[in-house]
A and B are shown apart, each in its own frame.
Chain A
Amino acid sequence: MSVKPIKMPSATKDSTILKIAVEMLNAPDKVPQLIEFDQSQPLSSIIQLLCKPWGLPDPDNYALQFSESNNQNYITEKNRNEIKNGSVLRLEQSPAKTVQDILAKINSGNEIDQTATLAKLSTLSSDLTFALEFINKKGLSLIIHNIESGKFKGDSLKFALITFVELMDHGNISWDILENPFINKVASFVSNQTNTQDPKIIQACLSILENIVLNSSGKNLHVEKEITIPNLISHLQNPYQDSIIQQNAIALINAIFSKADLNKRRAIAATLSSKQVRNVIYENLIGACEFSKNVTKEALGTELAHQLYVLQTLTLGLLEPKMRQRADSQEQESQEKIKELRKIAFDIDNNSLEVTTRHHINNSMKDYKKLGFKCEIDPIKDFNEIPPGILALDCMLYFARNYSEDYRKIVLENSRAVEHECPFGKTSVELVKLLCDILHIGEPPSEQGQTYHPLFFTHDHPFEELFCICIALLNKTWKEMRATSEDFMKVLSVVREQINRALSASPKGFDKFRQRINQLTYAEITQIWQQERTNREVWESHARPIVELKEKITPEIIDLIQQQRLGVLVGGTRFKKYSSRGQRIKDKFWFVRLSPNHKVLHYGDCDEKSTPSLEELGNKLAVSDIKCVVVGKDCPHMKDLRGRKVTPHLAFSLILKSAEESLDFVAPDEQIFDYWTDGINALLKEKMSSRSFENDLETLLSMDIKVRLLDAEGIDIPQDPPQIPEEPDDYDFYYDNN
């Protein structure tokens, strides 16, 4: 292949010159060109220079394109800086020329031509340069018109819809341009269940409708009219199990949900929480998610998880008005609810509830006290705080009605007016507040959120069910902690931990949740906290400032150990006597001790019990005469061990500087061995290295550090060194000290 480089007019050989290749697709006669691409030259003149050797007459009809698999955009003056040295570019028909050809083919071509053209168009449309050109030449209107009129069918329709999605995706065109007939048409592709549609068509239509709902002004109402929730739900069960259809269907439900007024939202939520719909969502999405393990499905899974999170957040959000509504003493409904709580708890008939004599008022106060309300005279005041407002009252009543036995048991157990009781009313209000906080009720869905709880898709009243399990848990934990009313907040902090931990395991249903949370006893939680503290300590012991501090104190500690070892030597030790060949000499002992000035070792024979004084020891060895200490098999008396029972690991010898002499020892145990070898090494200014030395160092050092850090308990040590600021501007201190 002969490549003829083109000489580009370049003034300087600086970084604005890139070496690149340019090729032309489907043109075997056009040999690729290697050129020096000058970033300071306008693109049009570069294209002109490229056209010449290839004999292309009309340079205006050409443009350059990237040729990477993820980027085949046209090169413009704006994005030309993305070209890198060594890039391979393509010379292609210019966007204007391409648009012209495509429009002509759509208008007049036969069906096969049309489909091929639309296929090409659908990929080109993701390029902003092309899209703008196409929209400018009224291409978008043409596409909209032909979709609306039903001119496109089958594959043509598919590619037209994809093109539409891509063109709108650039965000340059307002969604308000769409008229009802177009919306009807798109909606009909979604609602029409009889035709077996290409999944891509349904994907695109769902996405278009979602965008109309979210981004148009007012057209959402029209979409709501055209599309029903059950119809969208049926797409979750689509025969292809296409996860993009599922995801787009949920996204459209979320969009309609979030734009609807409160009444409509309630209606949607009621539809969604009906058992049939719930099961479809659970079986097709949540269940399926758990089984998919391959990578591509998981990547899709994050978007689906986000949509499920949004759905969950919107549904739970319906509780917000109640959470923010204070109970009113005049309000009949709440009064009735409180009476019902009393009725269920104490089996009172309606007559006695209504009577208002002094005697009965006393009775009701007693009952309300037993129910654990803060305000026994007028319990409705307990629901004045928002959150949780009357949502708390509703949860309590739900519990009382649906789990009457458990309810009565909890109330009775805690109404004996003893110190350790857990008041039902007061704790329920706090628990609902806690649940609202954990589940972020009243907050709009976040852009990144992906945390959804499968169990919320398994019940018509998931929040209330959660409350029922957690109020029983709170009672159990209260007892485990042997808590009193002063400990209320501490119990709640444990309960919060229990709920968070049980939810984070994504239990599939309320039974699993109950099981999990009952395993997380108070003892278990304390242990987890303890473990976290320990982990923190381990981390901290390796944190840089602590390591620095350890290094700084280590010499002081070594000095202590040295003093201790020399103390051992001065105190002296009684050794068993061995022959020079390492043979135990029966019943013979000798004693060795260091002089208090640490200069001379005194030694001599002794009996089994005596501790001879310095003067009683006849032999002397000046420390300055010792060359080194050797241990184990290196000792002269351990050289020949054949057939003897002596274990050499307790043996050590002092090798003397003069001649081949040595003083040989066998220590009675490892500690004395360690102490003596350390002591001798210390005398010889050598490093101590025994196992006891390492242990003592660690013991002394870690205690020292702990005591030094007493005031820093509970304070976080920074991961990275703090940034030291510039030195102060002046040193004119306020106080005159120092």
Chain B
Amino acid sequence: MAEDADARRTRTGWGRVLVAVYGVFALAATARSVVQIIDRFEVAPVAFVLSAVAAVFYLVATTAFALGDRSSRRLAAFSCALELVGVLVVGGLSLAVPAWFPEPTVWSHFGQGYLFIPVLLPVLGLWWLRRTRPGVSG
């Protein structure tokens, strides 16, 4: 009962919008990495593998936020944390070693090509999980 209420809370209100934005990024990152890998993997193997990793985390986060039960919330937190590390590391690497990133990916330059949403999204996700954590009203 309480579990159901918590699950509803994670995916209602702004959580609903968060899932929608995550869904868009899951689609964008998946489509982009699939195209890059089938079409021209040899051009930038490092960048394209990282694109695929980003896609997987976006898919996991979208699903976890949409389900919102206790184990999904843990998975969502894990996914957001890794996304944040990923976007910061890849963002930094893309500036430090541009040769590895001849083509833009979702996370290169801290998600500049996507209005920096990739760096904001995991932060918003973690904030939302904290705000809707079980046992806290409001």
Decide whether A and B are members of one complex.
no
- Chain A residues in the interface with B (C-beta under 8 A): none
